[in-house]
Amino acid sequence: MKKTKILMYVLAMVLTLSLAACGSKQNAESESTGASGGDSQKEYLVGTDASYAPFESMTADNQFVGFDMEIVQAIADKGGFKIKLINTPWEGIFATLNSGDRDIIISAVTITEERLKEYDFSDPYFDAKQSIAVPKTSSVQKFDDLKDKVVGVQTGTTGDEVVTKLLGADSGNIKRLETTPLALKELENGGVDAVVADNGVVNNYVKNNSDKGFKTVDDASFAKESYGLVTKKGNKELLDKINAGLKAIKEDGTYDTIYQKYFGE
């Protein structure tokens, strides 16, 4: 009787210990997944200047909407990482990568030689070029016609670059605004004769504000631009995940579905 009791006790101990060992093994396993793939738990902070419809904007109830917003979420889903979107002013948006305040920027950012010197870009995900918004009554027919006009741009954009090139760096006729909607407001108010910005944004604005009587003017001299997601220089691990996700959504049709939603007829 006594022996049986001891045996039961020993058995119970063995069972308890082996269960405990199992438990700790599981913990160790999940911890090591956490450390190596690590980043399955980590939430990457994504900066965007959400004033650039149809690529990124905020709804009345503060939700991020737009082509870029759906693309970056799809990339994260397929690339196996988590993201959090943060509305970030365009001015200084790239510097937030180096300060560690943001891990990724998606903001209809054109890949340029200048920017490539300081930051890394994903593979291109969208083609764009500059376009001109003018009142329907305007005589402007080509980019060159803006030479003696007052032109609105968003500071530090590729639109700013081309207009600065045409009018000259010290031209008093360039109105630089913090956001593109502010530049378009200037156009409405007659404060500028034209606005130069990315074609997708200009087209979207002219189409959705037909009551305001604007038209777009395109010019063959505008260079082809490509958008990319931006990361801090040297963050290869993250860039690889982004490019893998982008490749996956291009291959499985997700990219096309999102593209059709925003730019299909």
Detail the DSSP E strand segments found in the chain.
43-48, 51-52, 56-58, 64-65, 82-87, 104-105, 119-121, 126-128, 130-135, 151-154, 174-177, 194-198, 214-217, 225-227, 230-232
Q: Which member of 96, 110, 204, 254 binds ligand ARG (CB under 6 A)?
A: 110
Stretch that binds ligand ARG, among 81-89, 107-115, 168-176, 244-252 (CB under 6 A): 107-115
User: What does the alpha-carbon distance between residue 231 and residue 242 come to, in Å, rounded to a whole number?
Assistant: 10
CA distance 226 to 108: 9
Q: Does 132 bind ligand ARG (CB under 6 A)?
A: no
DSSP state of 224: P
Separation between Cα atoms, residue 226 and residue 58, nearest integer Å:
23
Interaction pattern, residues 49-68, with ligand ARG; x per rule: CB under 6 A:
x--x---x------------
The reply to whether 204 sits near ligand ARG by the rule CB under 6 A is: no
Tell whether residue 107 is a contact of ligand ARG (CB under 6 A): yes
Does position 120 interact with ligand ARG (CB under 6 A)? The reply is: no
Question: Quick check: 126 binds ligand ARG (CB under 6 A)?
Answer: no
How many whole angstroms separate alpha carbon 141 and alpha carbon 185? Answer: 21
First to last CA, the chain: 86
158: contact with ligand ARG by CB under 6 A: yes
List the one residue from 46, 69, 108, 196 that touches ligand ARG (CB under 6 A).
108
> Does residue 96 belong to the site contacting ligand ARG (CB under 6 A)?
no
Q: Quick one: 18 or 98, whose CB is closer to ligand ARG?
A: 98
Residues that bind ligand ARG (CB under 6 A): 49, 52, 56, 90, 107-110, 154, 157-158, 180, 198
